[in-house]
Structure 1
Amino acid sequence: MMSPRLSLDDHRALGAKLKGMRSELMALSATVRRTYPKNSREVRSLNTAIRRLDRTRSMLDDTVFRDFACEDAGAIYYGD
């Protein structure tokens, strides 16, 4: 049995949260990079978290384009 998909409003709410999370991670990464070497475990770990979050946003963005035909689909997970 297929589980229900997210509604467009659910995607909008999730997109806003994920954008905020990415901004927070970027700010934390900048702070850590000022303190630790570029190749330290701390910096690499934050960079990995950002990449994984970006991958998730990309997959969800693809889902919105596949499941919904709307003008603002491109701004849900990216953009302002």
Structure 2
Amino acid sequence: MVTILNGCETFFDYRWDWVRFKGTYGRLFGLLYRLNFLASNSKTEIECGELEKIADGLIDAIVSVNSEWVEHRIDDQRARGSRATKNQ
């Protein structure tokens, strides 16, 4: 069982995934809370500028997470490549 878990750890960096998940979760819920706050004021409509700020925040969060993921995967592949070279 330990061997299987060690093998999985080689391919999946759950620590990085957890940290990234928590950061993204916080950003997205911040946007949701802002939208809920704006929607709770039933006397006025939500201004387009406010909705654009929320949409920009959402797009920024998605682009940021994607960029960090790509960077992480590239670094991970480089590390695996250097380990494979050392083992030969």
Relative to the length of structure 1, the TM-score reads: 0.53
CA deviations over 1:23-44 (Å, ceiling 9, x no partner): 2212212332454646611111
Report the number of matched residues: 62
SS at match of 2:35: helix
Cα contact 2:38–2:46 (8 A) shared by 1: no
Q: In 2, Cα distance between the equivalents of 1:26 and 1:67?
A: 32
Question: Which runs of no fewer than 5 residues in structure 2 stay unpaired?
Answer: 1-12, 78-88
**Segment of structure 1 superposing worse, 22-31 or 46-55:** 22-31
Residue 53 of structure 1 corresponds to which residue in structure 2?
61
Question: Which runs of no fewer than 5 residues in structure 1 stay unpaired?
Answer: 1-7, 70-80
Q: In 1, Cα distance between the equivalents of 2:60 and 2:18?
A: 19
- Give, in angstroms, the shift of residue 20 of structure 1: 1.2
Provide the aligned C-alpha RMSD in A: 2.7
* 1:29 and 2:35 correspond: yes
Q: In 2, Cα distance between the equivalents of 1:44 and 1:34?
A: 18
- Give, in angstroms, the shift of residue 11 of structure 1: 7.0
* 1:44 and 2:38 correspond: no
Relative to the length of structure 2, the TM-score reads: 0.50
Q: In 2, Cα distance between the equivalents of 1:20 and 1:68?
A: 25
Structure that is richer in helix per residue: 2
Cα contact 1:29–1:46 (8 A) shared by 2: yes
Return the structure number with greater relative CO, CA threshold 8 A, min gap 6: 1
CA deviations over 1:1-39 (Å, ceiling 9, x no partner): xxxxxxx75675354223212222122123324546466
